Every structure is written in structure tokens, then in C-alpha cells.
Structure 1
Amino acid sequence: MRVTNKETHWSNHPGDEGPVTVSVSRKVKPGSEAAYEQCVSDLVSAAADFKGHQGATILRPSSATNDEYVIIYRFDNYTNCQGWEQSEVRAQLLKNLEGLVEGEASTQQGTGLEFWFTLPELPAHKPPSPHKMAIVLIGIVYALVLGLNLLLKPLLGPLPSAITILIVVVLQVLLMTYVIMPRVTVLLKHWLFDD
């Protein structure tokens, strides 16, 4: 089950929820920064070997992170994320953090469309409301599909429809994930994340 601020979605099929993004914030004891960074580097390297891993970002302490280290990692679905989080490898590597950190870790997890609405400088934020995500995505998807079809029609015209659609969809998802949504989320952050 995924609970948002206004809706509850039920599913019996793990994997239906789409990508999972997890952020873990920790306060590191003064003088332990180098050892902590080495442990985190080992954790990230180990996670990369697990099925479904889609990358990680490490933020050093700053005012935007409440002077905490933040690790943000992504998996393609909940099941694969759980595979990493419940692994013996991860448990052993986490033991290396003992004595380097203060208090407990703060962990947040997001799934589905929230993946496209992340702000690296604010990793622990609440996701936007579903209707705001829908409004933004409808506008962007429409503009991208229209633009890509007009731009690529002369090149892809002789190809079968199924191949043309596949090419447009692949380009659209890549552009949204790596180019458009990170910029749109920053541009609209005050509207998207206000309560």
C-alpha cells in the first residue's frame, strides 16, 4: 500500500508501484567524517550490485540538509529495494557506522510518480499532491509527444507504427527523467511543495 496525503492505492502485485526512492539522513560525530564517507562509499558500491539498483546520490552536510549527510538511492521497484535493505551485506556494512554517527537514521521512501518530483537539495520533503503532479505531467507529456512526433515524423515515417511509438516513448521517458523533470521541479518547487 502507498499512502499519499489524499489517496490510498492498494495492490497485490509488488512491482506495480514503480521506482522507489529512499533518502537516509544521518548526523555524523565531529572528526568521523572521513571514516563515515568511506563506509558510505562501500555501501553504495555494494548496493550497485543488487538487482534493480538505479543509482545513488550522497549529499554532504549543509544548511539545506540540516547539517546531516544524506544518501539517496533508487531501485526499480519495492521488491528489489527490499532485497537490498534486508540483505546480509547491507547489515554487515551498517555495523561499520557504529560509533561514527549520532542518534538514529531518518529514512523516507517514495514510489511511483514521486520519482520525477525530487529535489536533491531537499531530500526529505513531502511529495507534491497527486493533482499537482498530474497537472504538470499532462502538460509535459503532451508537449513532448507532440514535439517528438513533429520532429521525428520525417525520419520515422517509413517505419511501422509500433517501432515509431517505441522510439517516441523511449525518448520521452529519457528526456523527462534526465532533462525536463529535474528542471521543472526546481522551477515550480514553490507551487508544487506548498501546503
Structure 2
Amino acid sequence: MSTENRYVLVLYYSRHGATKEMAMHIARGVEQVKGIRSMIRTVPAISATCEAVDEEIPSEGALYCTNDELKNCAGLVLGSPTRFGNMAAPLKYFLDGTSDIWLSGALKDKPAGVFTSTGSLHGGQESTLLTMMLPLLHHGMVISGIPYSAPELNTTTDGGTPYGASHWASDKKRSTLSNTEQTLCLTQGRRVAELASRLSR
């Protein structure tokens, strides 16, 4: 991959907007690293009704991710709201369809990180982040968290973990990230981009 075409894919699913907001801050962190750009993509919702089919291009927001966009990224930051301590079904459904990429080994040795949002403080943030790492490990990716050299990890009263950025929407269902959460998103995006820059030379 030529250096001018290197990008970190920020791939997320969001239902109420908080995870999308995190993705935007992570992408800003990616853009702070010279020679790496961000690519923001999402996945369509899924339905138990077989006749329900989404348009190829969503009416608003980020475009849907293709397998080629995932395959050709220099790094990946994967985000999902928490669903019973795990990633949301639409994101899992997308990843389940990437066996061709797994067979090719195209993601091997590329850096990856994960992020999440929950409606309650102990709503499964860490278990969601950890389980999101599993398919990435199967792809041979190099998992990157947020190191404790980021001082916000020691002072946060909202979201933020060493496993990846997180957001606590609280019982008021606020979607706006706190300053600390925004900073940790920027830190994570920048870190994955820096690793992508080193590993893709």
C-alpha cells in the first residue's frame, strides 16, 4: 500500500448517536498522524424480517463498509454500543461475513482498537471491548489499548478503560461525550494511527 493511500478504518454501529460521536473523535485523532488518513464507515441494521432490505447507500451519516475497505485498511478501530455485555448484532453480522479476508490473511499484523458506549456505568463496557477483540485476534490483528500514560484513565469519572475508549450515557441518556471521553477517543485514534504508520512501512 502506498503511503499516500494508507488509512485507519473507523468502523462502527450506532443506534442513538453516542457511538457515532465517539467515532468522529477517534477519526480526528487518526488525522493528527502525518501520512495516515481516517475512513469512517458504518454497517446497516439487521432485521428478523427477511423482507427488510436496506438501501446500498444510507440516507444519512457514514457509508456502509465494504469488505474491500476493511481488507485494505492499514489499521482498524471498531466501535459498538453494548448489548448485554457484547457488541451489537449488526456489527457481529458484518464481521461474520469476513471469512474471505480471514482466509487471505489481509489483516494480519495490522493494528486494531475497540470502543463502546453504554447507558449505565456498569453496563458491560469492559466485557464488550474484550469480546470485540476476539474476531480481530482471529484475523491476526495486533490489538492496541490505551496506555496509562494517558492521565485521563486515572481521573475519569465517566467512560474510559485501558481496553479502549468508552462512554457512559448515564440514566439521563445523554449522548454528548465528556471532555475526558473525547480526549481518550482522540488518544486512541492517534495511537492506532501511529502504530499503523510504523507497521505498514
Q: Normalising to structure 1: TM-score of the pair? A: 0.27
Greater fraction of residues in helix = 1
Q: Normalising to structure 2: TM-score of the pair? A: 0.26
Larger Rg: 1
